[in-house]
């Protein structure tokens, strides 16, 4: 049995279609990433899968529970860490975990040992008497994770858990997630960080509420048609603007001092690029084919997909 099974999942808010006919299958024990920009429908999808929002149409089961009929029973089997997880700043780290243990009805027998395990697991033991309001951003996220795990969920939902967190804390957070997977927890995580998406076993690309790509990171990268070239120039912005004019059917992305040019028909691309930039008086430092990143793929897919009304 899959950890998550959804067919035709749809949610509207008046005239706005937040999630549009979404089909998903997530296996037990995998890290599944829901990837998309702000407004893609990631949070709405998670709220439906955790029983917080009722779907406008479609059907979903999580941990063997129907998200509508079994919404109360579902809470016993899932953990959910939203973008604004409800930590209490005037309570200590340990008191926050105790509070969530009470909410989830965690038995008193063995509770102390479980809390100590979570504190050690999230590297918060030295800070258990510190007020949550005095924690760094990364430590708050780890405390939120510990609170979401206090009742030992089978499926863990994390809505952009490392948003705004420094790179070192993000890396530490993902180490914790890998340990959870080794312990048998299924993780469903949304992120706008494409480098984090590479860490997932499989991905779903979401844009304007619609599924536009699904598979392993390698499979998703293979969705990109044609070829990708990296162009370096001392004037990358001007070079990108010229290339957008000269290759109207192509995807042109700016990455610092580099320009990425994705072409469905790459034949003679280098000669045409050199000629165009030279005619405009722009220097071309280098031109070479490269393997696409997930960011390249996502930009290309979005450019080819009609934009709907903004979701959340």
311 within some domain: no
- Give the count of alpha carbons within 13 A of 177, CB side only: 27
Residue 255, pLDDT score: 86
98 within some domain: yes
Q: Are 161 and 78 part of one and the same domain?
A: yes
Strand partners, 6: 24, 60
Residue 80, pLDDT score: 93
Q: Are 186 and 214 part of one and the same domain?
A: yes
How would you write 99-113 as a 3-class SS string? HHHHHCCCCCCCHHH
Q: Are 48 and 194 part of one and the same domain?
A: yes
Signed CA dihedral, 193, 198, 201, 205: sign only: positive
Q: 221: pLDDT confidence band, cut at 50, 70 and 90?
A: confident
Angle between helix 236-246 and helix 269-279 axes, rounded to 10 deg: 120
pLDDT of residue 156 exceeding 90: yes
C-alpha–C-alpha distance, residues 271 and 259, integer Å: 16
In total, how many domains does the chain have? 2
Mean pLDDT of 62-76: 94
8 within some domain: yes
Residue 307, pLDDT score: 53
Q: Which of 190, 198, 243 is nearest to 216 (CA)?
A: 198
Q: Are 166 and 262 part of one and the same domain?
A: no
Tokens of 202: 């499989």
Which residue, 170, 192, 221, sits at the end of a domain? 221
Q: Are 275 and 215 part of one and the same domain?
A: no
Mean pLDDT of 276-299: 88
- Cβ partners under 8 Å of residue 69, min gap 6: none
pLDDT of residue 266 exceeding 90: no
User: For the domain that residue 244 is a member of, what is the CATH number?
Assistant: 3.30.70.270
CB 50 within 8 A of CB 60: no
CA–CA–CA angle 154, 159, 164 (5° rounding): 135
User: For the domain that residue 74 is a member of, what is the CATH number?
Assistant: 3.40.50.300
Q: Are 201 and 139 part of one and the same domain?
A: yes
Q: Are 144 and 275 part of one and the same domain?
A: no
Which residue, 221, 246, 264, sits at the end of a domain? 221
Please identify which residue in the block is written with the tokens 């044609």. Answer: 226
Mean pLDDT of 44-72: 96
309 within some domain: no
Q: 26: pLDDT confidence band, cut at 50, 70 and 90?
A: very high
Angle between helix 93-103 and helix 137-149 axes, rounded to 10 deg: 30
CB 35 within 8 A of CB 199: no
Q: Are 162 and 211 part of one and the same domain?
A: yes
Residue 310, pLDDT score: 42
Q: 304: pLDDT confidence band, cut at 50, 70 and 90?
A: low
Q: Are 148 and 237 part of one and the same domain?
A: no
Which residue, 221, 238, 262, sits at the end of a domain? 221
| Segments of 216-280 assigned E as strands | 227-232, 251-255, 258-263
Q: 305: pLDDT confidence band, cut at 50, 70 and 90?
A: low
299 within some domain: no
pLDDT of residue 237 exceeding 90: yes
Q: 20: pLDDT confidence band, cut at 50, 70 and 90?
A: very high
Q: Are 213 and 235 part of one and the same domain?
A: no
306 within some domain: no
Q: 295: pLDDT confidence band, cut at 50, 70 and 90?
A: confident
pLDDT of residue 162 exceeding 90: no
pLDDT per residue as tens digits for the range 70-127: 999 999 999 999 887 788 999 999 999 999 999 988 999 989 999 999 999 888 999 9
Instruction: Kindly tell me the burial class for residue 238, based on how many C-beta atoms sit within 10 Å of its own C-beta (0-12, 13-18, 19 or more).
Output: middle
119 within some domain: yes
The residue with greater pLDDT, 113 or 311, is 113
247 within some domain: yes
3-state helix, strand, coil in the chain (%, to 5): 35, 25, 40
Tokens of 37: 């920009």
The residue with greater pLDDT, 187 or 256, is 187
Strand partners, 206: 211
* Percent of all residues in the chain with a pLDDT value above 70, rounded to a whole number: 97
Residue 308, pLDDT score: 44
Question: Using the 8-state DSSP alphabet, how is residue 292 labeled?
Answer: P
Tokens of 297: 């793929």
C-alpha–C-alpha distance, residues 147 and 100, integer Å: 6
CB 20 within 8 A of CB 10: yes
Please identify which residue in the block is written with the tokens 């469903």. Answer: 188
What domain range includes position 170? 4-221
Q: Are 84 and 136 part of one and the same domain?
A: yes
Q: Which of 225, 224, 231 is nearest to 273 (CA)?
A: 231
Question: Using the 8-state DSSP alphabet, how is residue 31 labeled?
Answer: E
Mean of all residue pLDDT scores within the chain: 90
pLDDT of residue 148 exceeding 70: yes
Q: Which strands, in side-by-side order, build the sheet including 286-289? A: 251-255, 258-263, 227-232, 286-289
Residue 309, pLDDT score: 42
Q: Are 98 and 172 part of one and the same domain?
A: yes
């Amino acid at each position: 049995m899959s950890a998550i099974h959804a067919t035709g999942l749809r949610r509207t808010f008046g005239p706005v279609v937040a999630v549009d006919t979404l089909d998903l299958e997530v296996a037990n024990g995998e890290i599944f990433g829901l990837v998309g920009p702000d407004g893609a429908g990631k949070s709405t999808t998670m709220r439906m899968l955790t029983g917080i929002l009722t779907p406008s149409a479609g059907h979903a089961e999580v941990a063997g529970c129907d998200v509508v009929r079994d919404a109360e029973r579902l809470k016993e089997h899932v953990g959910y860490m939203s973008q604004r997880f409800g930590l209490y700043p005037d309570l200590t780290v340990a008191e926050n975990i105790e509070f969530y243990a009470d909410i989830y009805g965690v038995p008193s027998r063995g509770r102390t040992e479980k809390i100590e395990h979570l504190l050690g697991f999230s590297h918060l033991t030295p800070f258990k008497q510190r007020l949550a309001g005095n924690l760094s951003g990364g430590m708050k996220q780890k405390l939120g994770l510990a609170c979401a795990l206090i009742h030992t969920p089978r499926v863990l939902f994390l809505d952009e858990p490392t948003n705004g967190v420094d790179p070192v804390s993000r890396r530490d957070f993902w180490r914790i997630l890998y340990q959870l997977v080794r312990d048998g927890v299924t993780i469903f995580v949304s992120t706008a960080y494409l480098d984090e998406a590479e860490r997932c076993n499989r991905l779903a690309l979401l844009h304007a509420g619609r599924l536009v790509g699904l598979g392993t990171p390698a499979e998703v990268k293979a969705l990109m048609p044609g070829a990708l070239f990296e162009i370096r120039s001392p004037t990358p912005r001007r070079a990108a603007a010229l290339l957008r004019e000269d290759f109207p059917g192509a995807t042109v992305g700016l990455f610092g001092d580099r320009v990425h040019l994705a072409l469905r028909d790459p034949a003679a691309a280098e000669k045409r690029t050199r000629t165009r930039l030279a005619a405009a008086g722009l220097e071309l430092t280098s031109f070479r084919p490269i393997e696409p990143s997930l960011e390249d793929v996502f930009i290309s897919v979005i450019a080819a997909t009609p934009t709907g009304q903004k979701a959340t």
